[in-house]
Amino acid sequence: MKKYIQPLLPVLTLYIVLLGAGLSIPGLWQPIAFIMFYVVLGQALNMFLGMTGYVDFGYVAFLGLGAYGMALAFSLFTDDGLGSGIIVVGFLMAVIFSILLSMAVGAIALRLRGAYFAIATIGVSEGFKYLIEGARLWGGSEGIIISSQLRDSFGSEMANYLSTFASDILIFAIGILAAILTVYTLHTRAGYALMALREDEDAAKVMGVNVTKYKVMAFGMSAVFAGLIGASAWTLKLTYVFPEDVFNIIYTVEAIVIVMLGGAGTLAGPVVGGLIYGILRYYLATVLPGFQLLVVAPLLVLIVTVFPDGVVGYIKRKLKGSRFSKYVI
Amino acid sequence: MVLLKLEKVTKRFGGLVAVNEVSLEIKHGDSIGIVGPNGSGKTTLFNLISGVYMPDEGRIFLEDQDITELPAFKRAPLGIARSFQIPRPFRSATVRENVAVGAMFGAHGEKMSVDEAMSIADHYIDLVGLGDKRLELADKLTAVEKKLLELARALAMKPKLLLLDEVVAGMNPNDVDKIVSLIKKIKEEEKIAAVAMVEHVIPAVMKFAERVMVMNEGKKMVEGATMEVLKMKEVAEVYFGTSQTIGESGDARG
Amino acid sequence: MVFFEQLAGNLLYGIILGAVYGLATMGLSQIFGVLKIVNVGHGAFIMVGAYVAYWMFVLYSVNPILSIPVALVIGLALGLGIFYIVIRRLIGAPELASLLATFGIGIFIEEVAKFFWGPDHRGFSWNIGQVDFGITLIPNTKLLAFFSSVIIALILYMLFQRTRIGAAIRAVVEDREGAMVCGIDVSRIYAMSFGIGIAMTVIGGILLTLFIPVGINPYMGGEYTLKAFVIAVLGGLGSPWGAFIGGFIFGLLENGSYTILGLIPGVEPFSLTRFVAFSALLVILLVKPTGLMGGE
């Protein structure tokens, strides 16, 4: 048990501090929720990019499909008398949608090597946007608006509470769940298999690691968390889903930057990366509205060329062998 | 009893035939050396046996089971382990973690837990003499230590057939002697059914192998008892282009 | 049959556009073939080409065909600059690093374009008549784009087959270490290949403006990155000539499927065609990841 709890301590402490500060200091809840979105987004992508070293350029599609899963639950089943249970159906649909996509893309592309996989994912999010718009699927380019269904299911007061507060709490919960699952994975056979295939896929294969199996597993896990984030942070919080927004490549870029900045494949990396990035992004939104990527893109290039280990990766290397090393994984 | 059987195995890369209709039997108890000049197909042969490549023609059997089409990761649990010519450690992991991966996914069986794998790893790390480096990151090791790590990692897989690709290349003669004795000792102690060694360092082959196969231009040239084969004039010509025999010169690098 | 006439017309159009697609993809394959780097930001350089065509036309009344030398110079400068600042450091680094870096570079170029020129769609019209092929009318500008693409591809072919630098590049593609032993300055070959690859892409972007009347905007490249990857994989990633042929195949596929999708009521064939491109990529990777033209 100890080996799981020790590395979780710094991460959970940070969550508690953020949660406490947000709840007790007036005006701080919104910015903290904003930052937490990035922290959890990073954690979700880290499960795939960090663990396998594979990059999915269409990652936002999982958030998008999660958002649609939740929205569809409301637009299809509001009248079925599910009451507030509809939210469970929504999350279930979000999870199913993202798993299905991860299986479809993963089954084909994860048999391939890194570069080919990356190429295969380049069109995924745009492809979905065009499918939804082109086939006028799920409301086409007009999207789905669920504010009235939310009111019908929960009453207007509860609906308001859900979109302004509970959806943010859900993000915290998803983050904690992601952290626990990450620590657990890192300590299992799967964790070692993923480390091996990330470092040297051929060597891993020869040593008996079924690399495709573990890649698909990590991809699916990462997709599920992305779907949950999309369902909470977008559909429940904003009460609408537009294809232009939820398949926007900017979130893929941001998630990658967070993972690389913090340290790919580490537990604390995406948390630290998300924290730094979230604060930077909050600030950028005021000084350079609409041009965040102008700063973020060169940042990404800089990180991968001169600082590929990321903050936590660097600290972890420094601490190797010291008694603090068990707190940073 | 035959452990591994190659039947007319061929591998082509574009127009180049890297391995050309090679047949070979490795029996339980064998210590076999595979020699030949650079580019003669030795490493490709190992890649075919371990499943890195699939052959274009021919069949491969492990104890009567046809493994020709079997992917690499399914061969390891059957008891095939190999080292790489240029060591390929998992660089961000410790020595212990590197070796533990071998124990976890090798031939010990599906249920090997992480903790068990770690203690198995410790055993092999001690065996190859890397005991005091166990918590070191793999990329901090010296070249020779990385070779030893390759060896430990392959041993931890509990192989029946151990394929060693130039483990002693680049070592000084003292180390060569030590490693070869170590491998012989390990083969006995760990009950490894057979060890095949691709090697340029002829003294190592002479000391280790009872049998050698000489390869040239992808083909099997000759196979037989080590000393007899190495004394053959044809073999020397392949190596040196002269009729001086390898047995006399004692070494044949490059 | 109106439908078949329409299909034939669109397929002819597909061949003409396909030549430009092919040229616009050759750089991607060239860079992968030599440097083993996948330029994920490929489309951004097409966008740069499109803006070169636009500004040359609007500011100096220079038509896109005559702007090709300008694109060549800008493309080379851009390519060499990026090579020496970033790419040089990524040779031999894990694949992930080069994938992310080229991705970041592409986005950065898009954002710079947006910063200076705004997010609006722009376009220009250059009209020099048209040719009646019976089944369809093709504007002369598009025919010019077609012939320019074919000629540039041929020039490149000569450059590769007949010159010393071409021979050196081929040597590096086949055997990096061997080329080094033979005294070839491999890092210079990398730089040149990257520069030429980017220049070809920028030129491709120029010619593409003749097919998109008002489609020039900072984010136009994303679509072409996707198309380029479909084409490059079709042609066997790493082979510029495969890519050129792949361009024709893709042009036919795209315009053929556009005609057929148009028959389905209630869909937007234009958006769906883009979905087809993405699906095609997955299918090709599933069936033959090394490309239809590529060997093993």
On the question of pLDDT at A327 being above 80, the answer is no
Give the closest-approach CA distance of A138 to chain C in angstroms: 13
Percent of chain B with pLDDT over 90: 49
Distance separating alpha carbons of residues A266 and A283, to the nearest angstrom: 26
Contact B88, B166 (CB under 8 A): no
- Return the residue in B73, B74, B85, B88 with the most chain A beta carbons within 10 A, the one to mutate for interface testing: B73
Instruction: Tell me if B92 and A199 make a contact (CB, 8 A cut-off).
Output: yes
Contact B195, B182 (CB under 8 A): no
> Residues A226-242: what's their mean pLDDT?
94
Position B243 scores a pLDDT of 52
Instruction: Specify the long-range contacts of residues A278-281, CB closer than 8 Å, at least 24 apart.
Output: A278/A34, A278/A35, A278/A36, A278/A37, A278/A38, A278/A39, A279/A35, A281/A34, A281/A38, A281/A254
Position A76 scores a pLDDT of 87
| All domains in chain B, ordered by first residue | 1-79+159-254 (3.40.50.300), 88-158 (no CATH)
Give the closest-approach CA distance of C94 to chain B in angstroms: 12
Burial level of C121, CB count in 10 A (0-12/13-18/19+)?
Answer: middle
On the question of pLDDT at C293 being above 60, the answer is no
In order of A114, A302, B159, C41, the CA distances from C98 in angstroms are 11, 12, 37, 11
Position B242 scores a pLDDT of 56
Instruction: Tell me if A126 and C278 make a contact (CB, 8 A cut-off).
Output: yes
Instruction: Tell me if B88 and A208 make a contact (CB, 8 A cut-off).
Output: no
Contacting subunits of B (3+ beta carbon pairs below 8 A): A, C
Q: Which tokens is A116 given? A: 């080919």
Q: Which tokens is A190 given? A: 């799967």
Give the closest-approach CA distance of A118 to chain C in angstroms: 8
- Cβ contacts (< 8 Å) between B72 and chain A: which residues? 205-206
Position B45 scores a pLDDT of 92
pLDDT band at A329 (very low <50, low <70, confident <90, very high): confident
ipTM of the complex: 0.88
- Return the residue in A207, A216, A319, A329 with the most chain B beta carbons within 10 A, the one to mutate for interface testing: A207
Instruction: Determine, yes or no, domain membership for C294.
Output: no
Bridge partners of C138? C131
B36 interface with A at CB cutoff 8 Å: no
Distance separating alpha carbons of residues C92 and C83, to the nearest angstrom: 14
A249-262 and A292-306 helices, crossing angle to 10°: 40
Give the distance from CA A94 to its chain's centroid: 13
- Cβ contacts (< 8 Å) between A195 and chain B: which residues? 90, 92-93, 97, 101
Bridge partners of B13? B16
Give the closest-approach CA distance of C105 to chain A in angstroms: 7
Under 8 Å CB pairs connecting chains B and C tally to 3
C287 interface with A at CB cutoff 8 Å: no
A253 interface with C at CB cutoff 8 Å: yes
Q: Cα torsion at B54, B59, B65, B69 (round to 10°)?
A: 30
On the question of pLDDT at C296 being above 50, the answer is no
Position A118 scores a pLDDT of 86
On the question of pLDDT at A231 being above 80, the answer is yes
B15 interface with C at CB cutoff 8 Å: no
DSSP class of residue A163 equals I
DSSP class of residue B94 equals B
Distance separating alpha carbons of residues A53 and A99, to the nearest angstrom: 20
Burial level of C193, CB count in 10 A (0-12/13-18/19+)?
Answer: buried
On the question of pLDDT at A188 being above 80, the answer is yes
Bridge partners of B165? B198
Return the closest-CA partner of residue C186 out of C92, C97, C82, C95.
C92
pLDDT digit string (tens) for C62-87? 999 999 999 999 999 999 999 999 99
Position A278 scores a pLDDT of 92
Instruction: Tell me if B135 and A195 make a contact (CB, 8 A cut-off).
Output: no
Q: Which tokens is C37 given? A: 């780097």
pLDDT digit string (tens) for C174-205? 877 778 878 788 889 999 999 999 999 999 99
On the question of pLDDT at C258 being above 90, the answer is no
Q: How many residues does chain B have?
A: 254
Position B245 scores a pLDDT of 57
Residues 6+ apart with CB under 8 A from C265: none
Return the closest-CA partner of residue B93 out of A69, A192, C266, A25.
A192
Comparing A317 with B57, the larger pLDDT belongs to B57
Task: Identify which of A134, A301, A308 has the shortest CB distance to residue C105.
Answer: A301
The CATH number of the domain holding residue C12 is 1.10.3470
* Residue C137, number of CB atoms within 10 A of its CB: 12
Instruction: Tell me if A209 and B92 make a contact (CB, 8 A cut-off).
Output: no
- DSSP strand pairing (B65-66 vs B2-13): unpaired
Give the closest-approach CA distance of A112 to chain B in angstroms: 14
Distance separating alpha carbons of residues C95 and B235, to the nearest angstrom: 42
Print the domain residue range for C254. 2-287
Q: Which tokens is A253 given? A: 């870029």
In order of A296, B148, B178, C26, C160, the CA distances from B132 in angstroms are 44, 13, 18, 53, 55
Distance separating alpha carbons of residues B240 and B221, to the nearest angstrom: 15
- In chain C, the residue whose alpha carbon lies closest to the alpha carbon of A108 is C286
Residues 6+ apart with CB under 8 A from B203: B173, B176, B250, B251
Domain A2-327, second-level architecture: Orthogonal Bundle (1.10)
Under 8 Å CB pairs connecting chains A and B tally to 82
Lookup result for tokens 């540039």 = C152
Give the closest-approach CA distance of B13 to chain C in angstroms: 8
Give the closest-approach CA distance of A190 to chain B in angstroms: 10
**Mapped to the 3 state alphabet, what secondary structure does C236-293 carry?**
CCCCHHHHHHHHHHHHHHHHHHHHHHCCCCCCCHHHHHHHHHHHHHHHHHHHCCCCCC
- Cβ contacts (< 8 Å) between A244 and chain C: which residues? none
Contact C217, C120 (CB under 8 A): yes
Over chain B, what is the mean pLDDT? 87
**Mapped to the 3 state alphabet, what secondary structure does A109-138 carry?**
HCCCCHHHHHHHHHCHHHHHHHHHHHCCHH
pLDDT digit string (tens) for B181-235? 989 998 888 888 899 999 888 888 888 899 999 998 889 988 888 888 888 877 7
Instruction: Determine, yes or no, domain membership for C296.
Output: no
Lookup result for tokens 């050759």 = C26
Distance separating alpha carbons of residues B222 and B237, to the nearest angstrom: 13
> Residues A39-48: what's their mean pLDDT?
96
Give the closest-approach CA distance of C13 to chain B in angstroms: 37
- Return the residue in A183, A206, A312, A325 with the most chain B beta carbons within 10 A, the one to mutate for interface testing: A206
Distance separating alpha carbons of residues C3 and A233, to the nearest angstrom: 47
Least confidently predicted of A234-248, B38-52, B137-151, B223-237: B223-237
> Residues B47-68: what's their mean pLDDT?
93
Q: Which DSSP string do the residues of A79-119 spell out, in sequence order?
A: GGT-GGGHHHHHHHHHHHHHHHHHHHHHHHHTTS-HHHHHH
Task: Identify which of C40, C96, C110 has the shortest CB distance to residue A53.
Answer: C96
A137 interface with C at CB cutoff 8 Å: no
Position A18 scores a pLDDT of 93
Instruction: Tell me if B76 and A320 make a contact (CB, 8 A cut-off).
Output: no
pLDDT digit string (tens) for A242-276? 998 898 888 998 999 999 999 998 999 999 999 99
Instruction: Determine, yes or no, domain membership for C24.
Output: yes
Position C292 scores a pLDDT of 57
Q: Cα torsion at A230, A231, A236, A241 (round to 10°)?
A: 70
* Residue C166, number of CB atoms within 10 A of its CB: 15
Distance separating alpha carbons of residues C108 and C221, to the nearest angstrom: 12
Give the closest-approach CA distance of C24 to chain B in angstroms: 28
Instruction: Tell me if B77 and A189 make a contact (CB, 8 A cut-off).
Output: no
pLDDT digit string (tens) for C146-184? 999 999 999 999 988 888 888 888 888 887 777 887 878
DSSP class of residue B85 equals S
C286 interface with A at CB cutoff 8 Å: yes
| Number of compact structural domains in chain C | 1
Distance separating alpha carbons of residues A225 and A231, to the nearest angstrom: 10
- Return the residue in A112, A304, A307 with the most chain C beta carbons within 10 A, the one to mutate for interface testing: A304
Tell me phi and psi for residue B30, to 5 degrees. Answer: -70, 145
Instruction: Tell me if B105 and A189 make a contact (CB, 8 A cut-off).
Output: yes
C221-234 and A114-122 helices, crossing angle to 10°: 130
* Residue B175, number of CB atoms within 10 A of its CB: 14
* Residue A154, number of CB atoms within 10 A of its CB: 19
Over chain A, what is the mean pLDDT? 89
Position C197 scores a pLDDT of 95
> Residues A177-204: what's their mean pLDDT?
93
Position A21 scores a pLDDT of 93
pLDDT digit string (tens) for B26-39? 999 899 999 888 88
Helix, coil or strand: residue B39: coil
Return the closest-CA partner of residue A312 out of A275, A276, A269.
A269
Instruction: Tell me if A115 and C38 make a contact (CB, 8 A cut-off).
Output: yes
Position C76 scores a pLDDT of 96
- In chain B, the residue whose alpha carbon lies closest to the alpha carbon of C294 is B14
C281 interface with A at CB cutoff 8 Å: yes
Radius of gyration, CA atoms only, chain B: 18
Lookup result for tokens 């990356």 = A118
Contacting subunits of C (3+ beta carbon pairs below 8 A): A, B
DSSP class of residue C122 equals B
